[in-house]
Amino acid sequence: MPEPRIVRHPLVDVRLTTLRDETTDRASFRAAVRELTAMVVYEAMRHAPTRPVELRTPVTTTTGAELATPTVLVPVLRAGLGMAEAAHAQVPGAIMGFVGMARDEETLQPTTYLASLPASLAGRPVLVLDPMLATGGSMAGTIDLLVEHGADDVTAVCLVAAPEGIARLAQAHPGVGVVAAAVDERLNEHGYIVPGLGDAGDRQFGAMP
């Protein structure tokens, strides 16, 4: 597995601080998720191949660029839904699939409740969007589904990752790259990232009953 790519930038640090602060309200939290997603997706697309396009400016003709292969974005519900629109704004031509995963907070095992994906993902770069990579179970399970659909070029795009999740993903899917805004210290005994930001789904959308 390639080394995780951590986006280092003062504007990233400021947004992360907003996310980590327990006094941040839900609307401000969602706004920081969107802003940070734009930065992390920008980095995730750094090596995307382009092809030349000829165009006219008001002054002359010139050569521009367009993405060579349509990207597929896959937010992992619920928390990844907050990243979807900002990622799509960065890559407007992308198509989007959806995976729903919920982690049992006792066993830490994820259950899939939704998989809406293009029939074939072969040859298409796929960015999986989930703010939290904790034990790595949800991300590894999502990528299992993508591989079943033929995916061969997958990047996990996260906001906060734990070393444990990165290691698990490296073992389960060694070809998958990780791009994140931060790699934190560790998981606690409840499987939460430390220092982390709490439950990214609850902080955006409210606690489930």
Ligand X SMILES: O=P(O)(O)OC[C@H]1O[C@H](OP(=O)(O)OP(=O)(O)O)[C@H](O)[C@@H]1O
Ligand Y SMILES: O=c1cc[nH]c(=O)[nH]1
Q: Where do contacts with ligand X occur on this chain (CB under 6 A)?
A: 76, 78-79, 101-103, 108, 110, 130-139, 165, 191, 199-201
From the list 15, 37, 71, 103, the catalytic residue is 103
Q: Is 105 left (phi over 0), alpha (psi -120 to 50) or beta?
A: alpha
Which strands sit side by side in the sheet containing 132-133, from one edge to the other? 132-133, 160-161, 182-183
Q: Which residues contact 41 (CB under 8 A, 6 or more apart)?
A: 86, 87, 90, 91, 127, 157
**Closest distance of CB 136 from ligand Y, Å:** 10
Q: With binding defined as CB under 6 A, does residue 196 bind ligand Y?
A: yes
* CB 137, min distance to Mg ion, A: 13
Answer for which of 77, 134, 157, 182 binds ligand Y (CB under 6 A) is: 134
Active-site residue, selected from the candidate residues 18, 20, 34, 199: 199
Given the rule CB under 6 A, which of 68-76, 88-96, 117-125, 189-197 is the region that contacts ligand Y?
A: 189-197
Annotated binding-site residue? 200: yes
Q: Is 202 annotated as catalytic?
A: yes
Within 8 A by CB and 6+ apart from 182, the residues are: 6, 12, 16, 159, 160, 161
Handedness of CA 145, 147, 153, 159 (dihedral sign): positive
Residue from 201, 203, 204, 207 touching Mg ion (CB under 5 A): that is 201
Residue 116 labeled ligand binder: no
Catalytic annotation, residues: 103, 107, 199, 202
